[in-house]
Amino acid sequence: MGFSMDFKGKRAFVTGSSRGIGRATALLLASLGAEVVFHGTKESPQLLSAVKEAGEDASFVTGDLGDMERTAALIRELDERKLFPDILVLNASVQSYTGLDNFSCEEFSRMYRTNVESNLLFLKHLVPSMREKRWGRIIFVGSVNGTRPASRLAVYGSTKAALMNAARAAAVDNAPFAVTVNTVLPGVIATDRNAKALSDPAFRTELEEKIPARRFGSAQECAFLIAFLASENASYITGAEIPVAGGFQL
């Protein structure tokens, strides 16, 4: 089997793809021939711009993944529009700087619904079609915070740890059907979500010094790994948890 990154004939659904890692991943997959279904919490200029850039085969759906009724409606929409994916990139999440001493129950529930429960609903309803075709790729976008706890991101990190556990179970369950399940663990990535925190020069310098590579990563670097895991080349890789963190996970 030769090396190939050709996704013609494959459909990819990337959650949270109006910006950041999700956008970079969706655009890369589209450039490699995939029919991409973008997702955003709501219709926005950023989402529509990404879809337009991806080309005429691209489409989009919207929905707040912190709302389980809306998530279920989104899944029904995918079914009605015959947009069930071959490649599922579960990227969308919410993050807040809340530790174990200052979180609210509302914020705790919001993060667990968005970061964990919605992803498990997608697995429950979208994986059967992959099993029937005996081909599928599921890539979770986790975080090094799931394995390297940070006090001020304790609740967020716990959602990513839960996600990793679910991904391991899904990898075992789906391997007999040629459906792989892997998790990418970004470190500190220079995206718009992190822009405010990284705008503090003192904090930025302090954080860079903790990263062995002495720099932050890019959304494109995460996208390259996700595309590889989604390709035919990665058919024997499942249950992996791969950091894209410049050594920050160590």
Specify the residue for token string 């950091």: 243
3-state secondary structure of 182: strand
Strands (E), the chain: 11-14, 35-40, 59-62, 87-90, 136-141, 179-186, 241-244
| 111 neighbors 89 (Cβ within 8 angstroms) | no
Specify the residue for token string 């590889």: 228
Helices (H) and strands (E) in the chain, counts: 9, 7
82: left (phi over 0), alpha (psi -120 to 50) or beta: left
* Structure tokens, 155: 């609740």
- Comparing C-alpha atoms, which of 198, 207, 189 is closest to residue 93? 189
Residue 148 exposure: Cα atoms within 13 Å on the Cβ side: 14
Residue 112 known to be catalytic: no
- Comparing C-alpha atoms, which of 189, 91, 71 is closest to residue 140? 91
| 177 neighbors 130 (Cβ within 8 angstroms) | yes
Rg (CA), the chain: 17
Q: Which of these is catalytic: 97, 112, 156, 236? A: 156
Amino acid letter, 230: A
- Count the neighbouring beta carbons within 10 Å of the beta carbon of residue 216: 20
Q: Which residues are catalytic?
A: 156
